[in-house]
Structure 1
Amino acid sequence: MSDLNQEVSSKVEFIRQILTETEFQGLRLRGTDWFAWATAGASNTVLLTAETGVAEVLITAQDTWVLTDEIEAQRLQDEELPANFKVYANPWADAAARESFVRDVTGAGKVLSDRPTIDVEKGLPASLQRRKRIMMSSELERYRQVGRKATEAMTEVLKAAKPTWTEYQLAGAGAEALWARGLHPALTLVAGERRLPLYRHATPTGEQIGRQAMLIFCARGYGLYANLTRFVCFDALTDEYNKLHHQVREIEAQALNLCLPGTPLNSIYNALAKAYQQHGCDRAIQEHHQGGTTGYLAREIVANPTTTDTLAEGIAVAWNPSLPGAKVEDTFALLQDGKLENLTFDANFPNVEIQGRLRPVPLEI
């Protein structure tokens, strides 16, 4: 049995245990995140901005199905799906036929779903949601590929960037570099010289980037998100910006040091809040979210004062502490013995050691 089939079989077995325990007759997964998880990295995405796709997974005690329509069925079978799944295709103009099929194979019984839409459907249990966030070894291997491709795209684009480019051009070059590597540019944010100190979530504009710029990726491959932020400066960085970048790296280190199995996310949030205070930036934690766990969503859980969910081996994290004009972000996987692996590290991008880890610094051109 291939690694993909083994991965799917393990997940299906876990789901069937839940069905037995809860006395539900089936489980439907409609979201792009859950579809990718259940199918070991297959995609049901056509419209990039949609949270659900053109197919869904249905698991019963007897069978594993992908439900789609006749437009998509052959392509999914040929190019996306592992062998574990049967395919049911309804006519594209007859969505009711799919619902009738589900009723038949579940005996009109109760169904769990990530997006319940009818009375017989109920939300997913916490145990399954946590299982999705903990990567198997085969998932981590795919994640490494996504992270490597995403950071190579980032480095390539920033080394080619010019101060006369508009923010649109830089974002477009980033998206092109991601597509060229088979990744979805789920998010490409850009702030040039003027807008950089003003906005944390800087959607690109037609303004020239000028002396410096920030580029942010949420790059999706196999359903997994590689999140990273980098800066380019077309001159030597000023003392003011050098200080800001140094501060966010030191603040981030407090979060990374606490990324150990069993650590609750709110403990890391509180450590970040304290770190900002120690650097004289008491309000900064209120000005932008600080990140959290990642994986099949850009953020599975965003850390805040009430998130008591705990870290575990196999969970991925992406923290993004920021100050006006400075930010740091990479995607890390929590491995055995509390080791953190930086999935988006690129030795070809300038970096500096912070508390034993190599962290990116602005590229000066």
Structure 2
Amino acid sequence: MDRIEEFQAKRQRLLGLLDRHQLAAVVLTRRSNFAWLTCGGQNYVGTATEMGVGSLVVTHDQVCLLSSNIENARLLEEECRDLPLKPMVLEWPTEGAGREKALQQFRLNGPVGADSGIADIDLSRELMLQRRPLLSGEIARYRSLGRDAGSVMNRAALALRPGMSELAAASLLVGAALEMGIEATVRLVAFDERIDRYRHPIPTSKTLTGRACWCSEHGAMA
């Protein structure tokens, strides 16, 4: 299954939501949902938020990419390359008003469902359930991510030295992950007595004398 085939299979799931709720459109803005439908594309700028800077608007006839003029080119050319999307470009910095105006056009044909506060119907939970059955391309990407994550852990572990701080160890982990295109969204590091004392030890300035334990999470955006 190539990217276009995967995209179309997921679009069919969303068309089922449209029919079930009698919606005119479904709007995906959360990073997880954008990545899911685009088969790995990312719509974020800042990482400390679940919401992206571009939305996908799915109707019975098309899928639109709704974003500002300062984000649209990158999203189309790098994150959504070759996908059959219709660009809807909003003018920055007044894209908020433009977004509402664009959504009102879709509402002429019925209510709009979404994964954020702009919705007439909140589909957050149903969209999460739609993401759960994995397609062959997603399974392949998860397996590849697992191999890469193992490589990152090994590389960072081999660079550990006595006297190194947990913060320095975390930076090794994050740096190795970024070099492989992995965003480590959870970074837990513990040395010595902190390993047994704390369940979720975020890194501190404590230095290594004997034992080390760490883990990382990518965020499951395959």
TM-score bracket, normalised by the shorter chain, equals over 0.9
Residues 125/69 of structure 1: CA separation in 2 closer, same or farther (3 Å cut): closer
Match of 2:112 in 1: 111
The alpha-carbon distance between structure 1 residues 126 and 195, as it changes in their structure 2 partners (threshold 3 A), is closer
Consecutive unaligned residues of structure 1, counting only runs of 5 or more, are 225-365
Q: Give CA-to-partner distance per residue, 1:232-291, whole Å, 9 cap, x none.
A: xxxxxxxxxxxxxxxxxxxxxxxxxxxxxxxxxxxxxxxxxxxxxxxxxxxxxxxxxxxx
Q: Is the CA contact (8 Å cut-off) linking 2:114 and 2:123 kept in structure 1?
A: yes
1:210 Cα deviation after fit: 2.0
- Which residue does 1:195 correspond to in 2? 194
In structure 1, the partner of 2:40 is 41
Taking structure 2 as the reference length, what is the TM-score of the superposition?
0.93
**Equivalent position amino acid for 2:71 in 1:** E
How far off its partner does 1:68 sit?
Answer: 1.1
Contact 2:167–2:203 (8 Å) recurs in 1: yes
Matched, 1:90 2:64: no
Separation in 2, partners of 1:90, 1:143:
34
Cα distance in 1 between the residues matched to 2:215 and 2:190: 9
Q: Deviations over 1:202-240 (max 9, x none)?
A: 11011102211111110257x23xxxxxxxxxxxxxxxx
Name the structure with the higher helix share: 2
Q: Distance in 1 between matches of 2:85 and 2:219?
A: 23
Of stretches 208-217 and 171-180 in structure 1, the one that deviates more from structure 2 is 208-217
For 1:124, the aligned partner's letter is L
How far is 1:144 from its partner? 1.4
1:163, 1:212 within 8 Å by CA — same for their partners in 2? Answer: no
Mapped pair 1:75 → 2:74: yes
- Asked if residue 141 in structure 1 is aligned to residue 128 in structure 2, the reply is no
Aligned partner of 1:103: which letter? Q
Separation of aligned partners in 2, 1:182 and 1:101: 34
Instruction: State which structure, 1 or 2, has the greater radius of gyration over its C-alpha atoms.
Output: 1
Distance in structure 1 (CA, Å) of the matches to 2:46 and 2:6: 27
Question: Where does residue 25 of structure 1 map in the other structure?
Answer: 24
Q: Match for 1:93: what amino acid?
A: P
Q: Mapping of 1:1-365 within 5 angstroms?
A: 3-82=2-81, 83-94=83-94, 95-107=96-108, 109-115=110-116, 117-118=117-118, 121-124=120-123, 128-220=127-219, 223-224=221-222
TM superposition shift of 1:21: 2.3
SS in 1 for 2:75: helix
8 Å contact from structure 1 (residues 193, 209) kept in 2 = yes
Amino acid at match of 2:49: A
Contact 1:184/1:219 (CA < 8 Å) preserved in 2? yes
The AA in structure 2 aligned to 1:202 is P
Q: Secondary structure at the match of 1:171?
A: helix
Number of positions where the alignment pairs a residue of Structure 1 with one of Structure 2: 220
Closer/same/farther in 2, CA of residues 175 and 125 from structure 1, 3 Å limit: closer
Query: How many Å separate the matches in 1 of 2:148 and 2:104?
Result: 42
Tell me how large the CA RMSD over aligned residues is.
1.7
Which sections of structure 2, spanning at least 5 residues, go unmatched?
none
Please give the alpha-carbon distance, in whole angstroms, between the structure 2 residues aligned to 1:76 and 1:102. 20
Shift of 1:128: 4.1
Q: What percent identity do the matched residue pairs reach?
A: 27
Name the amino acid aligned to 1:135.
L
Q: CA deviation at 1:183?
A: 0.8
3-state DSSP of counterpart to 1:196: helix
Q: Distance in 1 between matches of 2:184 and 2:125?
A: 30
Q: Which has the higher strand share?
A: 1
The amino acid that maps onto 2:167 is Y
Q: Secondary structure at the match of 1:201?
A: coil
Does 1 or 2 have the higher relative contact order (CA < 8 Å, sep 6+)?
Answer: 2
